[in-house]
Structure 1
C-alpha cells in the first residue's frame, strides 16, 4: 500500500510539472518581451518607394509584430540605388555608431546585397557578436561569411531557368532572350547568377543577350526593334546609366509599352504592369522567411545551427490580360499556375443588369403600396419648400433694402457733415490764418487733410459695393493706349523719374470705365512704390498660357513679402505703414472685384526690394 501511494504521489508530481513548466516558460517570455522587448535593427539597401525592398520590409515587420514578442523595431535606409558605388558607407557607419552605439540591437536584419556587405564590413565595430540575418542576398557563396559566426538568412535565388522554360513552352518559336539589368552590385550579381545557371538549358536552342549599361531611352530604342521569336527578361534594374531610379513596376510599364514582344519577370512586383508572367519570387514572402529565422534566433536558437535557405519558393504566376495579347491560353500554362486579371464569371459580367432587374421587379411589386405615401410626402415637401422659398425671398429683399439704405446714408448722411467740416476748415484757414498760431494752423491743415481722406475712403467703399450692381458695358478697348493716357495724367504728381512701356495690340472686350479704374489703381501703386528708385520702370504686357491671354503690370519698386499675399486684395489691409506710403488699403480690392466681375482672375508675385508684378485675365 505504501509503495502504491508513493507511486501515485510521484506520478501526480510529474503530471503537475508537465502542466506547469510550459505555462511558466510562456509567462516568463511574455513578461520579458513586455518589459524588455527585443531590439531589432533592419538595414534596407535602398530607399522607401523601391517596390522589392518595400515588400521585403512589409513581410519582415508584419511577421515580427505578429510574433507575440512586441519587438522594438528600427529601420535604416542605405540609398544604394542613388549611391551605387557605396562611397557613403563610412559616413553611414558613423551615423549607425552614433545612434546604436549605446543602444545595441539584439539582432540585425539586412535586406539585399549592399546592406549585407555593410553589416559584414563593419561588424566588428558596430555589431560585434550580434546575430545577422540576411534576406535578398544575390549570388550567395559560403566564402561571403567565411570567418563569421552568427550569420544566416535567405538567398534571393531568382528562378531564371524556370521562367525561360515557361516562356519556351508558351512560345515554341523562341530563339532569343534579351536580359536587362543595371550595373549596381545587385544588378551585376543577378547577371552572374543567370550566367551560372542558364547553360543548364542550352538544349533549348535559345541565345541570351545582355545589354550594356544604357540610359532608359537607349534601352527602349533597342526594345522597339525586337522581332517575334524574342522575349525580354528584366533582372534587377533600378538605376540606368544616367542615374535615373526605377521601381520594379515602373520599369515593367516602360519596357512593356515599348515592346511588341512578350516581357517576362522573375519577381511578382512586376506582375500587373505589362509583364506576361514567369516563375516569380515575391518580396513579402521573402521577408517573412527572413523574419521567421530572426524569431528563431531571438527565442534561443543558435544562428549557426540554422541553415541558409538557398532556394526560396517561387510561384508560377501570369497576367491573363497580357496572355491574350500574345495568344497564350490557360491551357498553355503549368498546372499549378496562378493568374491575375481573369475575366469575370457570368454574374460579374452581368452584375449590373441582374441587380437592376431585381430592383425593378421589387419596385414594381411594392410600388402600389408606396405610391400614395410618396405622393403625399412630395406634396408636403413642395409646400414646405415653397414656404421656405418665400421666406428666403423676403429676407433677401429686406437685406437688399437695408444695403441700399446704408449706401444712401453713406453717400448723403456721412458725406454732408464731412463737406461742412471741410468748408468751415477752409474758411478758418483763409480768413483767420493771420490770427492763428502756427500750431493751430498745423492742426487746421491736418483737419482738412483728414476730411479729404475720409471722403475719398467713403467714395472707395461705395465704389467697391457698387461694382457687383453695375451693368457691364463691354466695348473693344486697347489696354496699352488706355494705360498710357492714365500714366500721363498721373506722372506729374511724382517727383522721381519714371519710365513706362506697354506692349502693342492688347485689345480686350471689357467695360472701359471699369478697366480705367483697374489701370488707374495699378499704375498709381506702381508710381508710388517706385519712388526710391533712381529710374523707376513700369511695364504693361501680356502672354498666352494654356490658350488664355494673361495681362501683367510690373515695376521695380519696393515689392512685398509673399507670406502676406492673402492680405493683398483684402479691403483695408496694408502691407506698408501709412508713414511709408499713403493710401487707404482698398484700391487693390476694387481692382480684383472688377476683374472677377468680368469673369477673370487676379494674382500677384513679388519679393521685398525686387518689385512686384500683378497678373489678371479677361475672358473673351
Structure 2
C-alpha cells in the first residue's frame, strides 16, 4: 500500500512539472519604483491560487530613468540576445513603454505570445491594430472627477497648480488630457503647469501659495535637468502640516498631507491583469477576453486630511474609501464576538485534532531522530572505512600507514590501545606490526618474552572468530592479574585471516571496563578484514617485486590502477549504503510534508520548519552521492573527446571543494568567462584536474604561516584554446624537480601519495592538452592547463 501511495505521489509530481506554465512580466520602469512594485504585488496576488504550477519571470526596461535613443537601441540588442531561448505562455506588458516595445518586436522576440497589458495611458484601438491574441486594462486617471472634487470641497480656490514634468511619456500624455479639461473651467479655475522646475523651485513655489490655491500631484519623474525623481521624493515636496489642499489621482501619493481624489491603484491594475493572464494560461484566447477601456479609478481619501480641512463625509462621493478612519465600537466588538463564537465552537475539535497530531508528530520526530542518529553512525563508519581504504591504497607497503590506520580505529571507537601482531607457522606471536596508544594511556606494549600470554586467546580466536572480554570476567585468575597489572580492564581480539589461514592478530585494550555493541564489533571486524586483505596483498606484492625487479615501474602502475579502482568501488559502496537509509528518510519526510499540506495547520510551524530543513539536507546529501557516482565512472574512448562547457565544469568542481577551502581559511578568487566555453574533453576528468590542483595548493598553504592565504582560478580564452590557471601564494616548487613532479608515487610531501599530479598529467595527455608550471611572484606556484576548443581540436 505504501509503495502504491508513493508511486501515485511521484506520478502526480511528474504530471505537475510537465504542465508547469511560465509568464513574463515586462515592466516599463525599474524595480523599486512604487508604481512598478505595486503592479508586481497585484500580479503575484492574482497568481497565488496557482501555487507552483505557474512560474513568473520579470524584466524591466527602466524607461523612467533612461529615455535616450541610444539606450533604446542597446535595449533592442540586449533583448535580441536574451529572447533567443524564451518560451512563455503569456506576457503581461506593464505601462506604455513595455507594450510599445513588445508590439514593435513581437514577431522577432516574442513569437506571437499572448499579451495582457495594464497601466496604459491614452489608449485607443489604433494602438493594437492588426494585433491578435491581446487584451488588457487601461490606466485612465480621472482628472476631471478629481478637479471637480477640488472645486466642490474648496469653493474659494481659483488657481490649480499641477506638478507634472515635460519629459516622460506619461507626463506628456497627462498634460494633453488636462489641457482638454482646462477648457471646461474657462473662468472659475486657472491651470498652472509646474513642469520644467527643479525640486527646490517646486518647494519654494509651494511656500508662496495661499487659500485661493490648490495642488494636483501628477507625474513628475524628471526635473528640468533630466534627473530622475522618485514618487517618494514627489511626496516629500509636500511639507508636513501643509495648509493648502493637495489632491492626486494615484494611490502611491496618498500619504502625508494629500487629501485624496479619484485614485488609480497599481496593485489593482496588476491584480486585474494577472486574472486575465490566468485565463490565457489555462487556454482562453486573449482576443475573447474584453479589454477594460473605462477608468478603474476609485474615490479614496485620507481620514486625517478630511478632518484637517473640515470636509464632511457627506460631501464626498458614496462608497469612497477613507484610509485611516477609526472603527466604531460596534464594528470592533462584532468581529470579536464572531471570532469567539467560532473559537468556542471549534475548540474541542481543534484540541482533539492537535493532540492527536502532536502525538503523531512526536512519534515521527523520535523515529526520525533515531534514523538520523543511525545514519550519522553509518556515515561515520563509512568515513573511517574510506579513510582506511585510502591509506591502504596510498602505499605499496601497508606497514608505512598502519599506525595511522590503528589510530583511526582507536579514536573512532574510543579504545586506549590497538595493536597488530604477526603469527608464525606455529600460530604464535612473531612480532608487532603496529601499535597505537591514545588518550595518554599508560598501557605499554608487550615484550617478546610476554607473547606467550596471548597463546590461549589465539586458539580461541582461530576457532570462534573473535574473543571479547568487556570486564575481564571471562579470563582465568592469572590472566586477570597480568592484564590488570598493565592497567587493562577490557580486551577484544580479532583474527587476521586469508581463507582458513590465520596469520595475524588484532588486539584492542582499554583501561576501564567497556561495553562494545554488536554494531561496533561488526564494524571493527570489517576494518580488520580490510587490513587482512591489505596485509596479504602487501605480501604478494613484495614477493612479486622481488621476483620481477626489472619491471618494477610497470608493477607500480598496475598497483596504482588497482588502488584507484578500489577507491571507486569503495565510493560506490559508500553511496549505496548511504542511499538506503537516505531514501527511507526522504520518503518519511516527504510523506509527512504531503500529509501536512493536505491537513494545513495541524502540525506546529516549528515542526514543519524542521522538516523543511531536514528535506533540504537530504537533497544536498543526494546531490553529493550522485556526483560521487558520476565522479568515479571511467570514461570511454569517445567520452574523452566529448564537447563540454569548460566554465560549467570548473564551477561544478569548485562547488565540491569550496567548503574545504573556507575551512582552511583560504580566500579563493575565480575569474572565468561568463559565457559558455566549449572544449573537447571529459567533464569528470576536467573536474578531477581542478580538484587535484586545488587540493595540492591547500596542502602547500597549510605549511605556511602567512595571514592572507589565497588561491586564484582563472580561464584565459584564446583563439583556438582555453588555458586554465591555478595559482597560490604557498611554498612554491624546487626548480630541481622538473617534470619528475608528474611521476607516479613521486611526492614532495611526507604524507603525499604521489598520485594527484600524475593523474592530472594523465588526464591532460588523454585530451591532447598541455600542462606546465612555474613559481610566481607571490611565493607560490602557478599551473597552466591548455585545452583545445571543440572545433579547433576536431579540425586538427
- TM-score, normalising length from structure 1? 0.48
- TM-score, normalising length from structure 2? 0.38
